[in-house]
Amino acid sequence: MLKRLFTPPESRAITFQKLFEMGEPLPSGTRAGVNINQDTAFKISVVYAATRLIADVCSTLPLDAFYRSNGQRFPFRPKPAWVSDPEPDAGFTRIDHYQAMHVSLATDGNSFSRKTFDSAGNLSSLSIMDPRRVRIDRDSRHRIVFIVDGQTTLTEDDVVHITDLRRPGQLRGVSRIHELRETLGLTKALEEFSAAFFGSGSTTSGVIEVPGEVTEQQAEALQDGWEKGHRGLRKAHRPGVLSAGAKWVKTGVDNDQAQMLGSREFMVEEVCRIYRIPPHLLQSTKPGSMSYASVEELSKAFVTYTVLPLVSKIEDAYSKLLPGGAFLKFNVDGLLRASLTDRYAAYSVGTQAGFLAVNDVRRLEDLPAVEGGDANRVPLANVDLHAAGLTEQQMKVAQAAQLINAGFDRRPPWPRSACHPSPIRDWRPSSSSRSRPLSASSRSSPRSGSVLRTSPTPSGRRSVNCPARSSMSPCPNRPSPAPSASNVTTRATSPR
């Protein structure tokens, strides 16, 4: 106080009042004449829409905890409570938590989640802090510390720090709004100019030319009278009256000549480029803004180049909070969901190839499982994997049926391996049988080409008589079975 009494007031070459009168931008402003920060940028419609889109899409993705064993992924149970409800005390839902996180990343480039532990030392909750209140520094031990509001100092054990983009050697992430404030300032200036243009009666600027000399008071009175009679939407088309030879001279450029509407459309594309969002997701239908042939491919590009990098950062940061090598995983399959026809075609390929079961497909379509639907199937016959040998057996049966239809008996009275090899594999016609057709009563021998005598059977087919034995004698290469009652009965009732 004594210093103020005995020290004369300091004089400055320029004051804030003079700075505003001169129209110069503030140090944190832009060349477009508007100030851009996180609050003002969030009021730009296209910036708000881009931030809302990313936050809504990423925060509503399904999330679960898993662990890997022998290359397979299994659910991690019991799942920690903070995974499903990160902020139980604050009354925030899981969607609100991750929505606030993505807003912080989109505007500030940094997200700070403060940990809360219970009495046993276990992590109980995570809360998102305002990134503008947090400053990052290093202590005397070269450890990273987080200073909140310039007073509270937290360590990495208390805070989870996630960045959108980080320069080499920097602790804090890069803010898109701060780095690209000139681009966003032009967008904001276009909005304010449009509002001022329609608010002034949709007329361009100009001067009132008066012949002769006028004083400053007369000029101000003429200017105030003109604005009073024509400023505002209600007075937009009110005719004006100029006397004493005064006339209106337009000095501004019409909006259509200045391409104001085209400039505003271009700024939408600029913001889409900043946030890596396809223009159609921000309702831009300008011709040529589509880089793919279909909206489906554009949506896939949005998931690949925008959503996946963001959720991967969160997965890596929050997975460190789980014990035993467990990890968090966001499910983005719903965003890549194809049309109904394409999905069913893909499911058909998977089930026929054997790597998808019927119940796997039903789970992907949110349908209840069916009995017997967990069995995988193989190609061709589309049978169970355990019954894959049925395909080969069916082929053998079909070949045997062809031989039977040709006149050969498929049921020899002795084992085929003892006397006759497989007729399908070892049958070779003799030279004599090639030169003349076979009669109904004789056919070529499968082994030596000798003539086999056939006799009709009760079923109408012909049985092949083995040349090494009579039709009633046992095979010479097989020992005779011991007589039994069943054998005696069978021979007594045999039609042969």
Give pLDDT tens digits for 103-150: 999 999 999 999 999 999 999 999 999 999 999 999 999 999 999 999
Q: What is the pLDDT at residue 287?
A: 64
Distance, CA of 81 to CA of 86 (rounded, Å):
8
Domain boundaries, the chain: 1-204+252-337, 206-246, 340-387, 398-429+440-470
Look at residue 87 and give its three-state secondary structure: coil
Q: What is the pLDDT at residue 355?
A: 85
pLDDT tens for each residue of 173-227: 999 999 999 999 988 888 887 777 666 655 556 777 777 777 888 778 877 777 7
| CA distance to 19, 30, 101, per residue, from 53 (Å) | 39, 26, 13
Residue whose token pair is 């995974």:
83
CB 160 within 8 A of CB 170: no
Burial 330-361 (b: 16+ CB within 10 A, else e): bebeebeeeeeeeeeeebeebbeeeebbbbbb
Q: How far apart are the first and last CA of the chain?
A: 137
Cα-atom radius of gyration of the chain, to the nearest Å? 44
- Low-confidence residues in the chain, pLDDT < 70: 1-28, 90, 197-205, 229-244, 250-261, 286-295, 379-391, 409-496
CB atoms within 10 A of CB 188: 23
Look at residue 138 and give its three-state secondary structure: strand
| CA distance to 23, 51, 269, 308, 436, per residue, from 300 (Å) | 46, 19, 19, 11, 71
